[in-house]
Amino acid sequence: MDDLHQPELLARLQHKIDNKTKPLGSLGRIEQLAIQLGLILGTESPRLSQAQMLVCAGDHGIVKHGVSAFPSDVTWQMVENFLAGGAAVSVLARQHGIALNVIDCGVNHDFTPRPGLLIRKVAYGTADSLQVPAMSSEQCQQAIDQGRDIVKNLPGNAVLLGEMGIGNTSAAALLLARLGDLDIADCTGAGTGLDHFAIARKVETLRLVLKRHASATAPLDALACLGGFEIATLVGIVLQAAIDNRVIMVDGFIASSAVLVATRLAPRVQQRCVYAHRSAESGHRLMLETLQATALLDLGLRLGEGSGAALAWPLLQSASDILCDMASFESAGVARSD
């Protein structure tokens, strides 16, 4: 994976944005974002094309221990809602012209094949990680490889990460605690809406999971023992998108956990990532700190699905258009300040 820190291109991009008809630095983080897009796409005039929202779905065996306010059936029901166009991410993707594909990575349900659905089921949900590894190493690698293959067959130069899986805030919290060397209580939040007592029970359950898999410290071992099929598929998507020098728009807590694993495997992945928002899920702040990342938005979101990524997408489009289309002082005939 190439290092995107190219001093000559960076200098040209900085010169270009500095010479737009505006006070120096007056567009703030939009200017930083424009430069990042130029570095990712390798050009002084980065144009975003054919953005792809990939919503990866899977079920989790640990749900039987009461770590979610919703039953596992909600996973497949929400997949149907995505495909019918009724979910928040469906509405937002439609609004912004983003292609939406839903990927069955391991949902405990058989779906009727149809456009917009990619069936890449590894199994009917992960195993109960309180008892055994959530995935075998072979299943984990299968999910990663399938994520890579999905990206290889997609057009465009940008991917937006989405997910669905009842119980997956638990998997994300476990990965953050293990790979970030943090206390699980600090990484664990309400998820789908647990009350204070249920969160405490969730924390104790996850603490036991970490104890059972204490030796799973390497990134792929942690992913297999603690993660989910949808998270592993997202890891593959992120790795391949980074190799392809696509812009990677990261959604919330669960999507960020996949990026955390990917960056542990290939640190230069981080150069291609744009973090859409800081989730209201309590662990996401720590996740962003662990990734040394700053999110574009902070709107109190905790829906998942890729909804935050879709909401932030217009900011990327604006950054691209500013860099490509905004006049310079010279072209507009505008005098500079002394």
> Is position 305 annotated as part of the catalytic site?
yes
Token pair for 233: 């598929």
Cα–Cα distance list, 168 to 53, 147, 329 (Å): 19, 18, 50
Do 160 and 309 touch, CB atoms closer than 8 A? yes
Calpha distance 7→69 (Å, rounded): 50
CA atoms within 13 A on the CB side of 155: 6
C-alpha to C-alpha distance for 284 and 186, rounded to whole angstroms: 10
CA-wise closest residue to 261 among 278, 236, 240? 236
Structure tokens at 315: 């900011």
d(CA 258, CA 309): 15
Q: Which of 163, 289, 305, 330 is catalytic?
A: 305
Q: Judge whether 285 and 187 are in contact, CB under 8 Å.
A: no
The count of C-alpha atoms lying within 13 angstroms of the C-alpha of 36, restricted to the half-sphere facing its C-beta, is 21
Task: Give the whole-angstrom CA distance, residue 113 versus residue 131.
Answer: 33
Which amino acid, one-letter code, is at 157? N
Structure-token match 């495909």, residue found: 83
Catalytic residue ranges: 305
